[in-house]
């Protein structure tokens, strides 16, 4: 399941980014849903929130280290449970998708614009968000179960 999610996230992310790069000019927007969601082509040469512009390639190093750590931890059996499996897979798929952009282009193609003032994202960013939520949910469930065991 882990590797399937990683591969699917990476393929979907790269497919959408390729479509955006081939069909939209930078800065161009296409309304998807009633001015709530648009595709807006943006090239981010930095990190999240457009910080550290021009240093995007440097973020490949922590992505590779993180992916390596997750793969090592999985092999050692340290990452157990459905939500942990799913969460780390989404996280790795997202990190890989953005790392590919940084290696090939020196910047990340973003296009998902929710018009909420939180910036423009891509599928990889959304996968990372899903991964974080899954891991937090697993931690919360584990804490609740520990409290129940302690009170019995």
Gap between the Cα atoms of 66 and 92, Å rounded: 8
Judge whether 122 and 8 are in contact, CB under 8 Å: no
Q: How confident is the model at residue 8 (pLDDT cuts 50, 70, 90)?
A: very high
Catalytic residue among 13, 101, 110, 113: 110
Q: State the pLDDT at residue 81.
A: 84
Cβ atoms of residues 96 and 87 within 8 Å: no
CA distances from 131 to 28, 64, 87 (A): 29, 17, 4
Q: Which two tokens stand for residue 60?
A: 């490949």
pTM of the model: 0.84
> How high is the pLDDT of residue 58?
66
25: annotated active-site residue: no
The residue with greater pLDDT, 60 or 6, is 6
pLDDT in tens, 14-58: 999 999 999 999 988 888 888 788 888 998 876 665 555 655 666
Q: Which of 101, 113, 125, 138 is catalytic?
A: 125
pLDDT of 151 strictly over 80:
no
Give the pLDDT score at 125.
92
Q: What is the pLDDT of residue 16?
A: 96
Give the pLDDT of residue 36.
80
Q: Over the chain, what is the mean pLDDT?
A: 87
Predicted pLDDT at 7: 97
Q: What percent of the chain has pLDDT over 70?
A: 89
Q: Give yes or no: 13 in active site.
A: no
Residue 78: its pLDDT value, please? Answer: 85
| Per-residue model confidence as pLDDT tens digits over 106-132 | 899 999 888 776 678 899 999 999 999
Would you say 97 and 10 are in contact if contact means Cβ atoms under 8 Å apart?
yes
Q: Does the pLDDT at position 10 exceed 90? A: yes
Provide DSSP, 116-141: SSS-EE-HHHHHHHHHHHHHHHHHHH
């Amino acid at each position: 399941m882990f590797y399937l999610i990683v591969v699917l996230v990476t393929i979907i992310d790269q497919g959408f980014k390729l479509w955006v790069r081939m069909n939209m000019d930078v800065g161009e927007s296409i309304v998807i849903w009633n001015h709530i969601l648009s595709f807006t082509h943006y090239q981010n040469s930095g990190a999240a929130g457009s910080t550290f512009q021009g240093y995007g390639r440097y973020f490949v190093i922590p992505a590779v280290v993180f992916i390596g750590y997750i793969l090592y931890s999985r092999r050692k059996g340290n990452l157990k449970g459905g939500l942990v499996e799913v969460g780390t897979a989404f996280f790795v798929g997202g990190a890989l998708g953005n790392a590919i952009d940084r290696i090939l282009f020196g910047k990340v193609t973003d296009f998902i614009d929710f018009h909420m003032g939180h910036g423009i994202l891509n599928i990889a960013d959304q996968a990372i968000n899903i991964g974080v939520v899954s891991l937090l949910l697993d931690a919360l469930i584990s804490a609740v179960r520990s409290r129940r065991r302690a009170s019995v």
